[in-house]
Amino acid sequence: MKLKICVVLCMFFLGTLGFAGEQEFHKGNLFVTPQFAYYSYAPNFGVGLEYAVTNNIGVGGSVMVAFWSDSFGIYKVSETLITPAFEVYYHFTKLNAPKLDLFAGVGIGYSAYSWSWDLGDIEWKDEGSSSVYFSPILGIRYYLNKKIAVSLKTHYSSVGDWTGMGGELGIAFKLGREK
């Protein structure tokens, strides 16, 4: 099922490459994107930043956080995952189509995982399986106006303990000068 979703998203992305707009992404802009994500393990929330180094290249990063817990009678389990990442993007800006910003990139980050089990009289904590990860990224922003866009990104983490596919939905705020 995940492979089918990934193939459909890739086909959509490739099919829309001819519609990327050049006025939406350009050198000097800073994008701040509060976002909600769902990966194959849990819902996440966080924020992403991207700075337009050139008219096509953006660099930045994100920090996503997930908390989940469960209880079984007197037993309680809680887990935390914090994933900061450094990301580089290429924006497809050569053709003129207003309101669209299509991009592809890669991210490298660290999944910091910890958990706690409360087994009644015994409390057990551990750092868990924290690791470095690598993730190719496809994304699109659709501008509602000159400064605000809906952002959708899909990731496929292929290295590390927290591998899998996921997507992020957010609202991007464009700061900086207009072209």
pLDDT, position 120: 65
Mean pLDDT of the chain: 80
> Rounded to whole angstroms, how far apart are CA atoms 172 and 175?
10
Query: How confident is the model over 12-20, as a mean pLDDT?
Result: 41
Query: How confident is the model over 32-60, as a mean pLDDT?
Result: 90
Confidence band (pLDDT; 50, 70, 90) for 11?
A: very low
pLDDT, position 12: 44
Q: pTM to 2 decimals?
A: 0.77
Please determine, for residue 21, whether its predicted confidence score (pLDDT) is greater than 60. no
- Judge contact between 82 and 62, C-beta under 8 A: no
- Residue of 97, 105, 110 whose CA lies nearest to 52: 105
Please determine, for residue 89, whether its predicted confidence score (pLDDT) is greater than 80. yes
**2-15+61-175, which class in CATH?**
mainly beta
Q: Which of 6-15, 101-110, 147-156 has the lowest mean pLDDT?
A: 6-15
- The DSSP-derived string for 7-34 is HHHHHHHHHTGGG--TTTS-TT-EEEEE
pLDDT, position 162: 67
Percent of residues, the chain, with pLDDT higher than 90: 39
Please determine, for residue 178, whether its predicted confidence score (pLDDT) is greater than 50. yes
Parse the chain into domains and list their residue ranges.
2-15+61-175
Residue 159 DSSP label: B
Backbone angles phi, psi at 121, to 5 degrees: -85, -15
- For residue range 134-177, list pLDDT tens digits in order: 999 999 999 999 899 999 999 888 777 667 788 899 999 998 76
